[in-house]
Structure 1
Amino acid sequence: MKAYLKHTMLAGVAALALQTAAAQEQSVEERIAALEAMVAELKSELAAEKAQTDQDIVRIESVAKAEATDRPVTTTSGFMVGDTTFKLSGFIDVDAHATSFSDGQVGSNSIARDFYIPSATPIGGDEYSVTDLTAQASRFAVTAQKPVGDNQVTGYLELDFLGSAQGNELVSNSYSPRLRRAYVDYKGWRVGQEWSTFQNTSAIPESASFLALSDGMVFVRQAQIRYTNGNWQFALENPNTTSLNFGSVDDNLLPDVVGRYNFKGDFGNVSVAAIARQLRADFGTTEDEVFGYGLSVSGRVKVGEKDDIRFGLTGGEGLGRYIGLAASRATALDPNGDLEAIASYGGHVAWRHPFGDTARFNLGYSGLFVDNPDYLGGAVNKSVQSAYGAVLWDIAPKVTLGTELMYGVRELESGLEGDFTRLTFSTKYGF
């Protein structure tokens, strides 16, 4: 009996030992399986992160190409609110200007101290030099996209701080934002405030300052209704009649009409645009109107492997504010009380030459020439011209340093003229 009990106890202990070993073996296998699952999950997360990074690269390139070719911007990343995707973008821009005027000074609160406005070059005063530091060109933008069936609606809002009516340089430099662009895109339609369809934005030269070569350049942002179909663009844009001898009036009944065709290819892009304008003034007891028109050819053309030429050539009657930052006006009132459209023509050309890994050199010239009637006398602008050279280099991703030397001259019909020279250093971080 004792022997039987002994054998039974030994058998039980052996069975228990075998069960414990089996359980331990199963536990090890489960742990290995869990570790393998964790590794697989980490691999999946890394792959997803890489895919998101690739999407960001594609998005950045797409945005750059869209802005250069004036197409609607399409975002593929951002943050979701409901079924709408939002994206924030912009840049911080700090400029230091050392400016010398040959014939007078520009007020400290003038926007002409922040960037070149051809008609603001003083004439008839004493030589004056000044240094300014500003961050008002810094910019902020919000893009919103929402799917609508097989299409999508896109909204875009862009602000900066140039020309602020609020703020001064005494203590806080607290400048208010201003509206630059605000539009909605849907099925080829763009409605809102945007660059004029008469302007090819890819022709704007690269510069260290906010804007260079504006003398003979088409440069206007305004409210409009635009339709794009392939290479064709048509728009109705906000009208405004400016004059050399009775100010600016808003008596127009018809919008400015613009048509444009874009040539695109491996060579770059070239656009041909035409504009027709009703120029109208109502003086209460009398009113008059005249027809204005203009033609423009502009673009950015590749030269060699990396270089490009950016250019524009524009002319017409009654162009006024569309060219040269309103260095001339669209009309004049003749001695008989009739409106006359003012003829003007101008253009710009700039060469961009990359060198090294992250640097580039820019060189350019611009000019606007006005055919003023004799009855206006000698106090109106006959021409404005400028030339510049700029070197920019990226010291880190999206961080650009720049230096620029610009010279401009303004001439009146009387023969009097004034000039300015400006040296600029800039630091820009895009996001």
Structure 2
Amino acid sequence: MKTTLKALMLSGVALGLIGSATADEAELEARIAALETLVQNLSAQLEAERTQTDQDIVRLEAAASSAPATAPAAQQDGMMLGETNVRVGGYIDLDAHVTSLSDGAIGSSSIARDFHIPGATPIGGSGTTATDMTAQASRIFIAGDRDIDGNKVSGYFEMDFLGSLQGNERVSSSFSPRLRRAYIDVNGLRVGQEWSTFQNTSAIPESASFLTLSDGMVFMRQAQIRYTSGNWQFALENGDTTVTPVGGGRIEADSNTLPDAVVRYNHTGDFGNVSFSGLARQLRYEAAGIEEQTMGYALSVAGKLNVGGGDDVRFSLTGGEGLGRYIGLNAANGAAINPLTGELEAIPSYGGLIAWRHPFGETARLNLGYSGLFIDNPSYVASTMTQSVQSVYGAVLWDIAPRVTMGAELLFGQRENEAGNSGDISRFTFSTKYAF
């Protein structure tokens, strides 16, 4: 404002000088000289004010950078509820399956009608074919995080509707939600229900169905206490022993007195990622006056490798004694009861998977893979117990719109028992998924 007033005053002076000019050349030159002096003085004042303004800006910026923050940084997503950034997401999923079984049938209320559970493939009986359509894999999660005394605290809660024993398909198809994951994080500590630390989830193949190649896959969610430090992870997880009793079948003993212990090392780079995991677990059975226990051990290497052109290879290889429920969706038990001694013996098993993902076109990708689990049951177990499960699959997925994916998949699987008998499953799946 001061500068503007000075400019106006100078303009008035200039006009006055010019308006009163006479023919006297000397007088005119004197007045021009006076005008030049005024202009020079005004320029000097403007330069002084600009310099002072620049100094003020520098001083204010320095003060702001050294002052403590009084408001949280702007969030990239979610919404602020008080001091907590909250995010809600998930997906809506429709899966349509046509399942053909060479032997027997899978019950209409079984979760094995919704995705591939290797140990549920029947052996013996007449072949059947059934078509199922379900939206039970639809999922929702709520996540939140906030800063508390300089510590970032976050929480995550997730559920879907698979495996619901409430509801039926007769009228309303009303299915109850189930807990998938629920945990809190603070300073490298994760407490709650989460994927087992023994599992590398990046090795899970992309599929049109909820889950494929589960035969040799480590797949487990359970309550745990996990600590992460750099590339290392250490966890104590919920223990539960599945036992093969005399005569065959399965007992979920749930008699553990010690948690399962996991150590894992992760390595990540431009190549992708790979993890090395070790598992030690107590196998314990206590019932009807019998109290027996032994130990189980397992090792696993798994990951996802980038192989150029957008392709990747996902893999895992796992083996040990007493591995049990950690692999193949519990196609093998962790231990067996020796009918001669009554002792509990850990059951050796090993398995793995490999899958190739190849993008093509603008949004499509082809997935191919194989998975298998092989179980070294003791010689005294019943001939009906599972000896091996294997499967192959191929799936094509394409994004028909942002966040909307359609897929078609064909899976062929086989289960073989200790008697050498086998049963096959062939399943075609068509799916449509919208992620939000």
TM-score (norm 2): 0.81
Q: How does 1:13-52 map to 2 (within 5 A)?
A: none
Which residue pairs with 2:26 in the alignment? none
Aligned CA RMSD, in angstroms, stands at: 0.9
User: Whole-Å Cα distance in 2 between the matches of residues 368 and 313 of structure 1?
Assistant: 10
- TM-aligned CA deviation for residue 150 of structure 1: 2.4
Cα displacement string for residues 29-78 of structure 1 (whole angstroms, at most 9, x for unaligned residues): xxxxxxxxxxxxxxxxxxxxxxxxxxxxxxxxxxxxxxxxxxxxxx7321
Which residue pairs with 2:82 in the alignment? 82
Which residue pairs with 1:277 in the alignment? 281
Q: How does 1:12-411 map to 2 (within 5 A)?
A: 76-245=76-245, 247-335=251-339, 336-411=341-416
Letter in 1 for 2:347: I
User: Whole-Å Cα distance in 2 between the matches of residues 226 and 249 of structure 1?
Assistant: 25
User: Whole-Å Cα distance in 1 between the matches of residues 223 and 264 of structure 2?
Assistant: 17
Letter in 2 for 1:298: A
- TM-aligned CA deviation for residue 251 of structure 1: 1.3
Letter in 1 for 2:330: A
User: Whole-Å Cα distance in 2 between the matches of residues 243 and 164 of structure 1?
Assistant: 25
Residue 209 of structure 2 aligns to a residue in which SS? coil
Residue 183 of structure 2 aligns to a residue in which SS? strand
Match of 2:430 among 418, 422, 425: 425
Letter in 1 for 2:434: Y
- TM-aligned CA deviation for residue 284 of structure 1: 4.6
Cα displacement string for residues 285-331 of structure 1 (whole angstroms, at most 9, x for unaligned residues): 23111010000000000011210000000000001000000001000
Which residue pairs with 1:34 in the alignment? none
Q: Would you say how many aligned residue pairs link Structure 1 and Structure 2?
A: 357
Higher Cα Rg, which structure: 2
TM-score (norm 1): 0.82
Letter in 1 for 2:141: A
User: Whole-Å Cα distance in 2 between the matches of residues 363 and 131 of structure 1?
Assistant: 23
Between 392-401 and 274-283, the greater mean CA deviation after superposition: 274-283
- TM-aligned CA deviation for residue 282 of structure 1: 1.5
- TM-aligned CA deviation for residue 151 of structure 1: 2.3
- What is the percent sequence identity of the aligned residues? 64
Cα displacement string for residues 188-215 of structure 1 (whole angstroms, at most 9, x for unaligned residues): 0000000000000000000000000000
Residue 172 of structure 1 aligns to a residue in which SS? coil
User: Whole-Å Cα distance in 2 between the matches of residues 280 and 427 of structure 1?
Assistant: 43
Residue 309 of structure 2 aligns to a residue in which SS? coil
Letter in 2 for 1:243: V
- TM-aligned CA deviation for residue 398 of structure 1: 0.3
Letter in 1 for 2:423: G
Cα displacement string for residues 336-365 of structure 1 (whole angstroms, at most 9, x for unaligned residues): 110000000000000000001100000000
Letter in 1 for 2:269: G
User: Whole-Å Cα distance in 1 between the matches of residues 78 and 371 of structure 2?
Assistant: 39
Which residue pairs with 1:412 in the alignment? 417
- TM-aligned CA deviation for residue 79 of structure 1: 1.5
- TM-aligned CA deviation for residue 165 of structure 1: 1.1
Displaced runs of 4 or more, over 6 A: none
User: Whole-Å Cα distance in 2 between the matches of residues 284 and 255 of structure 1?
Assistant: 23
User: Whole-Å Cα distance in 1 between the matches of residues 109 and 392 of structure 2?
Assistant: 25
User: Whole-Å Cα distance in 1 between the matches of residues 371 and 431 of structure 2?
Assistant: 22
